[in-house]
């Protein structure tokens, strides 16, 4: 079974254009997966149903792991769903040229995932809607953030309400895009390494180098490592030359 978790960062809710894009994408993946006897479980949460606080810049997530705000809002629940999904949909409308405030606040709260490569081996999809403009810039911003967290971004695209193609309300324009999306997602589930970009490798190698030096230093002077360093070391990131090798080792572990 393929578990898709979609977070729709719009308070227009399930009737909004962005949730509509998410539902259409999940529908096409379900249809294509069924052709090979695979089933899909799809859960979609929209911003209007979530209580989300702003990051307070306490640095607890980097240094000690976890966030004190997880106890006061819905973030613990969202994180659990993100972590247990096979496919993450990150969906946002364009607001004044970029992602919605909710989308950015959510990203702020999981920034530390980027230092831990928390989404390594996971397939991610970016879905953006806009009236007329700034679709591509917004898609690319969100895509970069998810890639920074280690994800294999199989599809990242924008649908338009007015001035561009594909128009979210015109099925004929959406169909080829959705088809391409589903094909990429299904391919990425089998071969996530195909969607790892070169700069993600560089980021992985840089972190590993830093963690190695920090570990040596902490042993010599007897200071504690930050939680994010401890997590990367415990997960054995440093044993792999590339993020691709790490992701492939996760996949082979799954099969055993
Ligand atoms: C506060 C706000 C700002 C917006 N800014 C832009 C914009 O800069 N460019 C644009 O083309 N559309 C803009 N839009 C339109 C939305 O991106 C578009 O209607 C989107 O599909 C809404 O998705 P939703 O129904 O899921 O909320 C804006 C809408 C709102 C409410």
Q: Are residues 13 and 57 in the same domain?
A: yes
Q: What separation in Å is there between the alpha carbon of 114 and the centre of ligand 1?
A: 28
Q: What separation in Å is there between the alpha carbon of 13 and the centre of ligand 1?
A: 13
Q: Are residues 104 and 211 in the same domain?
A: no
Q: Are residues 239 and 184 in the same domain?
A: no
Q: What separation in Å is there between the alpha carbon of 186 and the centre of ligand 1?
A: 30
Task: Tell whether ligand 1 has an atom less than 6 A from the beta carbon of residue 207.
Answer: no
Q: Are residues 140 and 58 in the same domain?
A: yes
Mean pLDDT of the chain: 96
Q: What is the pLDDT of residue 256?
A: 54
Q: What is the pLDDT of residue 255?
A: 55
**In contact, 159 and 17? CB cutoff 8 Å:** yes
Mean pLDDT within 209-225:
92
Exposed, middle or buried, 188 (CB in 10 Å: 0-12/13-18/19+)?
Answer: buried
Domain that holds residue 238: 198-255
Q: What is the pLDDT of residue 23?
A: 98
| Residue of minimum CA distance from atom 10 in ligand 1 | 131
| Residue of minimum CA distance from atom 17 in ligand 1 | 130
Which of the listed residues 145, 178, 193 is the one where a domain comes to its end?
193
Which of the listed residues 145, 169, 193 is the one where a domain comes to its end?
193
Task: Tell whether ligand 1 has an atom less than 6 A from the beta carbon of residue 132.
Answer: yes
Task: Tell whether ligand 1 has an atom less than 6 A from the beta carbon of residue 95.
Answer: yes
Q: Are residues 204 and 245 in the same domain?
A: yes
Mean pLDDT within 20-24:
98
Q: What is the pLDDT of residue 184?
A: 98
Task: Tell whether ligand 1 has an atom less than 6 A from the beta carbon of residue 18.
Answer: yes
Q: Are residues 37 and 86 in the same domain?
A: yes
Question: Which residue would you say has higher pLDDT here, 92 or 253?
Answer: 92
Whether residue 171 is predicted with pLDDT greater than 60 in this model: the reply is yes
Whether residue 100 is predicted with pLDDT greater than 60 in this model: the reply is yes
Q: In angstroms, rounded to a whole number, what is the distance separating the alpha carbons of residues 252 and 256?
A: 6
pLDDT tens track for 65-79? 999 999 999 999 999
* Domain count across the chain: 2
Whether residue 253 is predicted with pLDDT greater than 80 in this model: the reply is no
Q: In angstroms, rounded to a whole number, what is the distance separating the alpha carbons of residues 230 and 164?
A: 47
Q: Are residues 137 and 221 in the same domain?
A: no
| Residue of minimum CA distance from atom 4 in ligand 1 | 95
Q: Are residues 214 and 140 in the same domain?
A: no
Q: In angstroms, rounded to a whole number, what is the distance separating the alpha carbons of residues 234 and 226?
A: 12
Q: What is the pLDDT of residue 160?
A: 98
Place 234 in a pLDDT band, splitting at 50, 70 and 90.
Answer: very high
């Amino acid at each position: 079974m393929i578990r898709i978790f979609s977070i729709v960062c719009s308070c227009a809710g399930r009737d909004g254009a962005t949730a509509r894009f998410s539902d259409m994408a999940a529908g096409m993946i379900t249809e294509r997966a069924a052709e090979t006897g695979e089933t899909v479980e799809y859960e979609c949460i929209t911003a209007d149903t979530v209580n989300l606080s702003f990051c307070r810049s306490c640095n607890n997530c980097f240094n000690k792991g976890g966030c004190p705000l997880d106890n006061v809002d819905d973030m613990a629940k969202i994180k659990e769903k993100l972590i247990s999904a096979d496919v993450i949909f990150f969906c946002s409308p364009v607001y004044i040229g970029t992602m919605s405030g909710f989308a950015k606040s959510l990203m702020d709260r999981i920034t530390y995932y980027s230092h831990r490569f928390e989404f390594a081996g996971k397939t991610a999809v970016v879905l953006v809607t806009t009236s007329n403009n700034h679709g591509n810039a917004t898609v690319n911003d969100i895509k970069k953030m998810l890639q920074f967290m280690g994800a294999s971004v199989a599809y990242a695209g924008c649908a338009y309400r007015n001035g561009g193609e594909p128009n979210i309300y015109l099925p004929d324009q959406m169909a080829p895009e959705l088809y391409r999306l589903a094909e990429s997602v299904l391919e990425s589930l089998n071969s996530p390494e195909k969607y790892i970009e070169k700069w993600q490798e560089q980021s992985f190698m840089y972190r590993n180098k830093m963690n190695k030096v920090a570990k040596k230093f902490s042993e010599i002077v007897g200071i504690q490592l930050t939680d994010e360093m401890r997590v990367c070391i415990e997960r054995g990131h440093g044993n792999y030359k590339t993020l691709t090798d790490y992701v492939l080792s996760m996949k082979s572990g799954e099969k055993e």
